[in-house]
Amino acid sequence: MKIRDCMKRQVYTLPDTACVRDAVDFVLRYHVGMLPVVDAEGKLVGVVKLRDLLELGMPDFVSLVEDFAFVSHFGAGELQQPDPADLARPVREVMHEPIFVEENSSPMYAAALLHHHAIRDLPVVNEHGVLIGLASHVDIGCAVMRAWKLG
Amino acid sequence: MTAVWISSLIFVVCLGVIFSEKVHRTIIALVGAVVMVAAGMIFGFYTEEQAVATIDFNTLGLLLGMMMLVALLEPTGFFQFLAVWVGRVSGGRPVRLLVLLGAVTTLVSMFLDNVTTVVLIAPVTILICEILGYNPQPFLLSEALLSNTGGVATLVGDPPNILIASAAGFTFTDFLVYSLPIVLVTWVVTLGFLRWLFRRELHAPGPEAAAAVLELDPQEAIKDRKMVRRILIALGLALIGFMLEEQLHVRPSFVALAAAALALVWTRPDVRAVLNRVEWDILLFFASLFILVGGMEAAGVLAMLSQAILSWGHLSPAVLGLVLLWVVAGLSAVVDNVPITIALIPVIQGLGQSGLDVGPLWWALAFGAGFGGNGTIIGSTANVIVASLSERTRHPITPVLWSKRGLPVMLVACAVSSLLYVLFFF
C-alpha cells in the first residue's frame, strides 16, 4: 500500500500570493487545520497552521508563563484581537517549510514523519513537487493498522 | 611603566568589548584574565600565584550559596505565588498593583538574586496586565527600576555590595544601618516619581477584568508546599546568620553555603538539576575579573590612580564622595557595574592607606553602582530581562522608552541619594 491510496484527493490550497487575512477566511470557510501554500504551478511551497493563526489573537502571556493553573478567567485577555498589521502580512512571510511525503511513500514512513514532527496532516506531492493530496493522521494511522495481524 | 600601560590597555579593551555586547561578557573576562596573566609573566609584573590570590573566595562562596538556594526555590512556584497573590490583593487597581508588584519584587530581590526574581515575576506581571487590559510597560519598567534601587539596601541585594562588603569588611548589619535608610527614602521617592511618569497609562480596569483578577488563585501557583517551607526556613536561618556574623565569627560565604547545604540535605532534590540552574557564568565572570583587575593592581595602575586623586589637592571628603557616586553611576549605566566596582575597590583601599577616611567612599561606590544601573536599557541585568520579555509582547520596551522613563528615574535617585549621603555621612 502506498500513501496515495489512503490520502484525500480533494485539497483546498492557498495561493502563495495570499495574505494572512485570506488564510483566516480559508480556515473559516473550509474548516481545516492545516493550509498547504502552493505557487502558480501548483507546487507545494509551504504550510500555514491553524495554531499559528490562533497565536495572533492569543494573549502574550500564554507563551511566556510555564503554566496558568491559577487563572480561571482571562478577563480582558478573552477579547484579544489580532493586530491588523499581522493580518495584512503575506503568507509567504509566516508560512513554515513544508513537511511532506512523495505519493509512493509507505504509510509507515508517513506515520513516522507525523510522529517525529508532532504534526497531524501531511501534504502529498508527485514526482514534480506538485501537491496532489493530503493525508491526515487518521488516514495514515488506519492504513498502518490495517496491516496489523490482530489474530 | 610598560606594565602600567599594558595592563591598563588589556582592561580597557575588555571593558570596551563588554560594552559592545558582541561577545558574552564571561568569555571576554576569561580571555582578558588569561592575557593579563600571560602579559604579567612576560613583562614580570604579575605571577600565577598572585593571580590566584586575587580571587575573593568570600564573594564567590556567598554568590554560590545564594544561587543554590534560589535554584532550589525557583521551580517551586513560590515567585509566581507572590506575583499572583499581589495581583489579587490589588483588586486590579493600577496604582495599587504598581506599588505592590514593585514592593514585592524589591523585597525579594533585597535578599535573593535580582535576576531570578525578575525572570519569574515579570511573565506573571504580563499575565495580570493582560487580564486587566493594561499595557504592561509601566509595571515591568517599575519592577526593574525599583528592584535595582532596593537591591542597594542589603549586603546580599546586589553583587557590588557583596564585593564592597568583602573588601571593606562591612557586615550585613552595617548595610542595614548605613544603606537601608537612604535606600528606603530613595525607593519611596522613585516610586512616587514613577507614579507621576506613568500618570497617563494608569487607568481603571473594566468591571469584568477586575472580577477576573479576583478569581486568581495564588495557591494553585505553588507546586510543592513542603519544599517551599523548607527552603524558606533555610533562607530565614541564612538571614539570621548574616545578622549574627560578628557574634558567630563567620563570614557571609560560610553562612550562605551552610544554608544551601541545609536546604539540600533537607529537600534532597535532583542535585544536577539544581546545579544546572546555578549561574556558573557569573561566578566565572567574577573570578576572571578579580584576576584581570589584580593584574592592573600588581602593575601599580590603581596605586597611581589613588595618588592622582590625592594630588588634586585638599578635596573635601563630601565632594570626593559625590564625584565618586556620580561617576560610578554614569559608568554603571553604560557598562556592567561589577568590573567598575572590582577596579575601584583597590583605588579606595589605596586612598585609605594614605590616611584618608574612606568609610563614606565605600557607600558612595555602592550607591553609584546600584542606582546607575537604572539609566539605560542595558544598565542592569534586570533591565535587559524585562526588555527582552516585553519584546515577545505587543508592547515592546525600546531603548528610547527607557531613556524617557528609566534615565529620569536614575537621575532622581542619584540626586536624592546624594543629598541624603551628604546629610548622613558628613
Give the tens place of pLDDT for each residue, B86-138: 999 999 999 999 999 999 999 998 998 888 889 889 999 999 999 999 999 99
Q: Do B131 and A63 touch (CB under 8 A)?
A: no
Is residue A60 in some structural domain? yes
Q: Which residues of A touch B221 (CB under 8 A)?
A: 69-70
Q: Which residues of A touch B130 (CB under 8 A)?
A: 59-61, 74-77, 80
Contacts of B314 (CB under 8 A, 6+ apart): none
Rounded distance, CA A132 to CA B422, Å? 80
Helix (H, G, I), strand (E, B) or coil at A19: strand
Contact of B341 with B162, CB cutoff 8 Å: no
Task: Choose the closest CB to A64 out of B126, B131, B220.
Answer: B126
CA dihedral B149, B152, B156, B157 (to 10 degrees): 0
In terms of residues, how long is chain A? 151
Q: Do A75 and B220 touch (CB under 8 A)?
A: no
pLDDT score, position B306: 87
pLDDT score, position B314: 72
Task: Choose the closest CB to A77 out of B124, B130, B210.
Answer: B130
CA dihedral B23, B24, B26, B30 (to 10 degrees): -20
Q: Do B127 and A64 touch (CB under 8 A)?
A: yes
Q: Do A69 and B213 touch (CB under 8 A)?
A: no
How many CB atoms lie under 10 A from the CB of residue B102? 26
H or E element that contains B250: none
Q: Which residues of A touch B124 (CB under 8 A)?
A: 61, 65
Q: Do A70 and B394 touch (CB under 8 A)?
A: no
* Chain A closest-CA separation from residue B392 CA (Å): 7
Q: Which residues of B touch A72 (CB under 8 A)?
A: 212, 215-217
Rounded distance, CA B273 to CA B229, Å? 20
pLDDT score, position B246: 87
pLDDT score, position A3: 94
**Residue A135 φ then ψ, to 5°:** -115, 125
Contact of A139 with A39, CB cutoff 8 Å: no
Chain A contact for B208, CB < 8 A?
yes
Q: Helix crossing, B280-298 with B301-310: angle to 10°?
A: 70
Is residue A151 in some structural domain? no
pLDDT score, position B313: 67
Rounded distance, CA B23 to CA A42, Å? 46
Is residue A111 in some structural domain? yes
Q: Which of B220, B239, B252, B262 is nearest to B72 (CA)?
A: B262
Rounded distance, CA B59 to CA B251, Å? 10
Q: Which residues of chain A have pLDDT under 50?
A: none
**Residue B334 φ then ψ, to 5°:** -110, -30
Chain A contact for B131, CB < 8 A?
yes
- What CATH number corresponds to the domain at position A98? 3.10.580.10
How many domains does the structure of chain A reveal? 1
pLDDT score, position B56: 93
Q: Do A75 and B219 touch (CB under 8 A)?
A: no
Q: Which of B82, B128, B130 to mutate to test the interface with A (most CBs of A within 10 A)?
A: B130
Burial class of residue A89 in the structure, from the number of CB atoms within 10 Å of its CB (0-12 exposed, 13-18 middle, 19+ buried): middle
pLDDT score, position B19: 81
Chain A contact for B89, CB < 8 A?
no
Range of the domain at A40: 3-146
Q: Which residues of A touch B87 (CB under 8 A)?
A: none
Chain A contact for B386, CB < 8 A?
no
H or E element that contains B329: helix B317-334
Pull the grid cell for residue A151: 489474530
Chain A contact for B392, CB < 8 A?
yes
Q: Do A76 and B212 touch (CB under 8 A)?
A: yes
pLDDT score, position B356: 85
Which 394-413 residues of chain B touch chain A by CB within 8 A?
394
Helices first, then strands: H and E counts in chain A = 6, 6
**Numbered residues of chain A with Cβ closer than 8 Å to any chain B Cβ:** 59-61, 63-66, 68-77, 79-80, 83
Order of all β-strands in the sheet with A14-15 = A14-15, A34-38, A44-49
Pull the grid cell for residue B264: 539540600
pLDDT tens over chain B, length 426 residues: 889 999 999 999 998 888 888 889 999 999 999 999 999 999 999 999 999 999 999 999 999 999 999 999 999 999 999 999 999 999 999 999 999 999 999 999 899 888 888 988 999 999 999 999 999 999 999 999 999 999 999 999 989 999 999 999 999 999 999 999 999 999 999 999 999 999 998 888 888 888 899 999 999 999 999 999 999 999 999 999 999 988 999 999 999 999 999 999 999 999 999 999 999 999 999 999 999 999 999 999 988 888 888 887 677 888 999 999 999 999 999 888 999 999 999 999 988 988 888 999 999 999 999 999 999 998 888 999 999 999 999 999 999 999 999 999 999 999 999 999 999 988
Chain A contact for B299, CB < 8 A?
no
pLDDT score, position B3: 92
Q: In the A/B pair of chains, how many CB contacts fall below 8 A?
A: 78
